[in-house]
């Protein structure tokens, strides 16, 4: 049975952190770096510092919340850590969205309420998805997958809009893609393979983000292009880990990719 007090503490801490992030204003620092001959710059500002801190606190809360579940193999860090990503990135995205919302009490309260409800739903569904025999297991996994893809869309667009371009965009896309992919792949029998394929998804998104960066397209077009790649790569990886990757599945994904690309081409401006 899920500990409601711990659940309330995790959600309450996240919401309190969101409120505090609106009050604190740290000076922005620019960090310049070079990786494999490519120059990059990382701007460390209040949202990034507070977002990282809240993501860490949320991960610790998730570990405390789920560690007593009878079906959770808490002795293996890989299984436990796979549950951290979705709640942590949800809080991270909520922080940016709350700060970008109109400066009004209604927008602030509405954003906090929606963030709290979404985080609660995610944690409840994750908890139920730990037991394959639970009556609502399939519904719980469906909800977490839908939230994962929705969150991926939000974060990829946010990275394009506020994260800058160049190597920083690529690294951010890789990190988001890898962390969200593990939520989709954590049901695999071998958790090490799930983490490996999640890392490969992130690496592929890094390459794609760098390529799109030279195209100079808008935030929406770039973000949804990364989302499409994330959907295809994570889906193929999930099918492979389940042992169901065959010619029919590959053709289905190829058809979905073609249709999605056609829709993206018509929906957004792809000019240089």
The residues, any chain, with a CB within 8 Å of residue 216's CB and separated by 6 or more, are 272
**pLDDT at position 150:** 94
Band of pLDDT at residue 163, cut at 50, 70 and 90: low
**Bridge-partner residues for 34, per DSSP?**
39
The answer to whether 208 touches 225, Cβ cutoff 8 Å, is yes
Band of pLDDT at residue 53, cut at 50, 70 and 90: very high
CA distance 5 to 11: 10
Q: Which of 142, 151, 178 is nearest to 97 (CA)?
A: 151
CA distance 250 to 233: 11
Band of pLDDT at residue 85, cut at 50, 70 and 90: very high
The residues, any chain, with a CB within 8 Å of residue 109's CB and separated by 6 or more, are none
Band of pLDDT at residue 36, cut at 50, 70 and 90: low
The residues, any chain, with a CB within 8 Å of residue 31's CB and separated by 6 or more, are 41, 42, 43, 44
The answer to whether 236 touches 252, Cβ cutoff 8 Å, is no
Written as six digits, the tokens of 165 are 């371009």
Instruction: Enter the pTM of the model.
Output: 0.87
Q: Answer whether residue 271 shows pLDDT above 60.
A: no
The answer to whether 68 touches 17, Cβ cutoff 8 Å, is no
Band of pLDDT at residue 256, cut at 50, 70 and 90: confident
Stronger pLDDT, 128 or 215, i.e. the higher one: 128
The 8-class DSSP code of residue 83 comes to T
**pLDDT at position 269:** 59
Q: Answer whether residue 272 shows pLDDT above 60.
A: no
């Amino acid at each position: 049975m899920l500990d409601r007090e711990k659940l309330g503490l995790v959600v309450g801490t996240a919401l309190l952190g969101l409120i505090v992030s609106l009050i604190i204003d740290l000076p922005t620092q620019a960090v310049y770096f070079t990786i494999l001959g490519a120059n990059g710059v990382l701007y460390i500002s209040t949202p990034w510092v507070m977002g990282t801190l809240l993501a860490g606190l949320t991960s610790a809360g998730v570990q405390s919340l789920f560690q007593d579940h009878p079906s959770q193999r808490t002795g293996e860090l890989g299984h436990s850590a796979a549950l951290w990503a979705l709640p942590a990135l949800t809080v991270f995205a909520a922080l940016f969205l709350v700060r970008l919302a109109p400066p009004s009490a209604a927008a602030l309260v509405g954003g906090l309420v929606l963030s709290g409800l979404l985080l609660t739903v995610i944690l409840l569904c994750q908890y139920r998805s730990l037991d394959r025999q639970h009556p609502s297991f399939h519904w719980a996994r469906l909800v977490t997958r839908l939230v994962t893809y929705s969150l991926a869309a939000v974060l990829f667009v946010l990275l394009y809009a506020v994260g800058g371009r160049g190597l920083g965009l690529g690294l951010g896309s890789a990190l988001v893609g890898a962390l969200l992919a593990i939520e989709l792949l954590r049901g695999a029998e071998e958790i090490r393979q799930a983490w490996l394929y999640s890392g490969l998804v992130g690496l592929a998104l890094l390459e794609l983000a760098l390529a799109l960066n030279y195209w100079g397209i808008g935030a929406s077009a770039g973000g949804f292009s990364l989302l499409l790649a994330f959907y295809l790569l994570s889906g193929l990886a999930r099918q492979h880990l389940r042992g169901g990757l065959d010619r029919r599945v590959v053709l289905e994904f190829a058809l979905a990719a073609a249709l999605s690309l056609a829709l993206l081409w018509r929906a957004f401006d792809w000019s240089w």
